[in-house]
Structure 1
């Protein structure tokens, strides 16, 4: 197990985009510069790879292995945490990816609920998670709750009941949902060594007030420097200053949503703001109209530079 695996996970974690060539093939050449950009420009030292932002469900198992291995290899000695999402519709595929993550030195794994044949109860979901975790018993394990995508609306507080008895490696939740009551009950009823990482970037401040240990999100790829200031302001008791930063991010995202903000738009925004060449998204996600990306970039600079 990597030494950092025993350290409680806190702070910002960027949910990384998967670099593609213009032809739609995995482009490993961009991963090294991507890592350097996160560290040097955004002050972000943790990554969550092959998740929703990384278009994991549009990748083959082989592609996910290649990507996970390259991220881990190039992050070694640079990043504090590499969390590999290994969730799949197939239990066997998920276990294969979990075992692979352990072999390549990932710091942790995460799993979202399967969403074609959905688990209908907390027991069914826990059983699925337990099976996946068993393939990498020494890696810290996180449940990735994202009901807007999976359609699995089982309260997380129910999933957590007795979960550590079934999964000794369980270490927390990536909570990408808007139900702050569920989130708060999870935090209040859980042991201190678990980490609760919030996944709705537009309302991170509210989650911090509810006890979030950190956050995993796509906007931390290009706005991590601003969110780091938000977290610092909150920790120092400067809530008004933290709120100002959160409101700025809400202004940007609200504007982007009117232009159809999705993974394709978000990826193009990252391309424009970072200077990296991450390529287009993979179908069925369609590329962002270039004019829309430029409008959002302009709005970004207006919100964070001019105001």
Structure 2
């Protein structure tokens, strides 16, 4: 991708009568030559939606876009961006800091501080710019059966720890992946101080997703686990248990762009939607794709139009 003039203004100013005389220029603006921007992204619902939000915004700004959404997981997208195989994808601050930069020992619970830390390291090490951070945190969430929660009065994980330490038994639906991850449930008993009472906790192994939320709603287990932007939080009648001491790593998303692919128009196009993406909005968009089985590209486009961004 090469830096150019403001494509949005140029395209909108070009009338039908001028198309013939400006055909060479427009070929560049419509994706010819080296002006295409390659958009990557991870292969789960939320990331597909974010990728298509970027694609629509860039196309509306007059850029040609190569669609590499759903490229793969964390490593595939990071390496593609670093190697210049893609120009942009959305990443989460916690993933960038702890996974890609390998700074697992740095636990930063303030979103702005974490963002500044990871953004500075990325620019210094990789020549990659973190643009504006969206105001939602796709971190882990502990779900609770509503009847159990009403009976026990457990509203926070501190309260849950006290409940367990008082000799009360709980059943918890969770996958081995979460238990083996020291930043998920793995080391949480030590952090919250109920590690000596683990005989009172029974883990029921189950996949994370709809099956987990249904088990919590129906009372097959007292507690479950998911992510804060899961559409199932709207779909099922479950409560949540607040991580009041901020044990879980925070994950705020932002568009990442290679320095060579970044100009003022790209920055403007990719930054424009971020402030509109709060937790409730992301849950709803995820639900439209994962629950209602709508096309993520269409969901992204409809939302951008509803926000007056397209």
Instruction: With the length of structure 2 as denominator, give the TM-score of the two structures.
Output: 0.26
Q: Name the larger-Rg structure.
A: 2
Instruction: With the length of structure 1 as denominator, give the TM-score of the two structures.
Output: 0.26
